[in-house]
A = this chain, B = another copy of it.
Amino acid sequence: MPKPNVKEQIVAASLTLLHSKGFNATSVQDITEAAGVPKGSFYNHFTSKEELGVEVLQRYTEQAGQIGAQLGESSLPPLERLRSYFGKMVESNAASEFNAGCLLGNFSTELSNQSPAIRLQARQSFASMGAMLEEVIAQGQRDGSIANAQPARELANFTADAWQGAVLRAKAEQDRAPLDRFVDMLLNRILA
């Protein structure tokens, strides 16, 4: 049997725990208990909870990028790719009954003021989400299916930000309505 990778166990458990409970409300002991590893092992792998936070946000961004890969599937029209992508994102929020929100958004509000390292990773995560959206929106503008009064980059960044706001509101309301409203406004007003 392969030796279990303690660091990986910590990151995987933290991804769930920090996403649902938040960073400051979660102790290192909470994390090692959830990971099923000795408390002392944490500092063999991370110098601080902050360093773990950066790694967890990187991992989350990679996973979001995998969902986002379908935005590049050129067999579907750009608007259909956006509809499908945000549909999956809505269902992903539904899986937590809208209680967890987006780890990127949660860390942005909770930690931007507290941790320069996490803020830097948040900026990079936003940039990669924005780039994915910009590409598909630019394609839609070229083929005429997406309005081009605003540049693709502006629309993409606004879309990424407005999504965060919708997720935040859905978390406060414990309800999907803000997410459905976002998708409706995106497809039928902003990009139409």
Residues of A within 8 A of B (CB): 20-22, 24-25, 99-101, 105-106, 108-110, 112-114, 119, 122-123, 126, 149-150, 154, 157-158, 160-166, 168-169, 171-174, 178, 181-182, 184-185, 188-190
Contact = CB atoms under 8 A, between A and B. Distances in A.
Contacts of A158: 162, 181-182, 185
A111 to B, nearest CB: 8
Q: How many copies does the complex hold?
A: 2
B172 A168 contact: no
B150 A113 contact: no
Closest 10 CB pairs of A and B: A165-B165, A24-B24, A164-B165, A162-B162, A161-B165, A108-B172, A122-B172, A161-B169, A112-B171, A109-B109
Contact of A101 (B109, B149, B157, B181): B109
A173 to B, nearest CB: 6
